[in-house]
Copies of this chain bind each other. A is one copy, B any other.
Amino acid sequence: MVRLKGFQKLTTVDDAVRMFFSKLQAKPLKPVIIPLHSALDRVLAEDIIAGEDLPRFDRSAVDGYAVKAEDVIGASQFKPKTLQVTDKDMIVHKQSRQLWTGNPIPKGANAVVMLENVRRIEDKIEVWVSVTPGENVSKRGEDLSKGDIAVKAGTRLKPHHMGLVGALGKAEVTVVERPKVAILATGNELVKVGSKLRENQVFEVNRLVLSMLCCEMGAEPLDLGIAKDDVDEISARLKLGIERADAVITSGGTSVGGADLVPEAANNIGKPGVIVHGVAMRPGMPTALAVVRGKPIVILPGNPVAAMIGFEVFCRPLICRLLGLKLELRPTAQAKMNRRIATTLGRKNFVRVYVFQQNGEFVAEPISARGSSMISTMTKANGYVVVPENREGLEEGEHVSVQLFDTVRVVDEDV
């Protein structure tokens, strides 16, 4: 067996995550109060408690007529019961009152007959059905009782949560501050997108991709620019990142035993420095994880695919911690592999797949890639499968769990 230089040994993904988080002060960030209407996708930092019953009063669940249920016992289309219509706030024996959905139930009434089960004749109605007491009535407190937790702290606010918070009359909510994530790219060959390329230069895209992945999670990216392959320059920018942000992500400048400029820079700027360097994963083996003054630095390889996968594996749980969220997985599809794919034993492999729905079944097609650096393998894929270290591949027909990072199309053979 060839000796692996540079990395004495590779750390497993699970160990790397565990070691990293044990050195971190990754507590949820501080709470901030914001208007409810700006809170979409923010993480709630308080339990929302119902200050009163919801609904606040017994109300009609339908359009119809409030009645005393006992007045319409045995009613049918052939034996309708006739009731007087009133517009008073109280009804008595053989009376009814017209209501629209949401209107309060008048005193004396205990049920609502739906509009389509009634014929109005001037100031009277013919009722064609019987109703049970409570029928078509939303009882006070049926939705929430005073003191109930409406939405729990740690919930990422979606439109339906916001509706419930609003229904309780709250126009402001306390949410977790957005984590600030500083992002640095390193490499002499890199130039900014939009500039003119000289020979042997390439456009730098990892800052953009990593920033957008941060935005998707509700973190705020800070740009640390592109650093040359120079330890001092990298150290200075990392230091700035640590001071200004809650976490730093870098890409490039980490390798197998070679130009480990970013790990070196991380060790330069403070303790404890690099915690893990070299992870048993594919792609992403040169990944390093550092902690400086309690703040995390995730050092990803420069290869864009490895950087994206590294974000999923290390930055996603990190940002969740900063937000006080349980690990938030991407949507998962159970799919069937449509061909075999080989993976590397002893590494956690992240196989890009394209999932589509065919005849009601989800099918995963592996996106083959000689070079893991091929960014087009990520745009051809819409998800990835995690293959554990003790497997040498996935079989044709095997059912796998796919983490989706894009939508799934229906590709029916019959259509």
Cα of A372 to Cα of B62 in the assembled complex, Å: 10
Interface centre among A160, A259, A362, A379 (most CB of B within 10 A): A160
Residues of chain B within 8 A of A171, CB atoms compared = 193-194
Instruction: Indicate whether A102 sits within 8 Å of B308 (C-beta atoms), given known contacts A212-B159, A257-B115.
Output: no
Q: Are A328 and B144 in contact (CB under 8 A)?
A: no
In the complex the two chains form, is B163's CB within 8 Å of A304's CB?
A: yes
Complex Cα spacing A286 to B189, Å: 62
Contacts of A158 in B (CB 8 A): 212, 405-406
Q: Is the CB of B407 within 8 A of A156?
A: yes
**Bound complex: CA of A193 vs CA of B48, how far in Å?**
15
Provide the bound-state CA to CA distance between A209 and B406, in Å: 24
A61, B193: Cβ atoms closer than 8 Å:
no
Count residues of chain A with CB under 8 A from any CB of chain B.
Answer: 104
Asked if A167 is at the interface of the complex by the 8 Å CB criterion, the answer is: yes
B160, A255: Cβ atoms under 8 Å? no
The docked-state distance in angstroms from the alpha carbon of A270 to that of B258 is 72
Whether A189 lies near B40 (C-beta < 8 A) is: no
Encoded as 1 (CB less than 8 Å from any B CB) or 0, chain A from 311 to 329 comes to 0000000000000001011
Q: How many copies does the complex hold?
A: 2
Q: Are A193 and B169 in contact (CB under 8 A)?
A: yes
A169 x B100 contact (CB < 8 A): no
Q: Which chain B residues lie closer than 8 Å to A55 at the CB level?
A: 202
The yes or no answer to A107 lying at the interface (CB within 8 A) is no
User: Provided the pairs A128-B2, A197-B56 are in contact, do residues A332 and B408 lie with their beta carbons within 8 angstroms?
Assistant: yes
Assess the B378–A160 pair: CB atoms within 8 A: yes
Question: What are some 29 contacts across the A-B interface (CB < 8 A)?
Answer: A2-B116, A2-B128, A40-B212, A56-B197, A57-B199, A57-B200, A61-B373, A63-B257, A102-B302, A115-B256, A142-B374, A143-B375, A150-B379, A159-B209, A160-B308, A163-B209, A163-B304, A163-B308, A163-B378, A164-B378, A166-B193, A166-B205, A167-B202, A170-B193, A171-B193, A331-B333, A331-B404, A332-B333, A334-B334
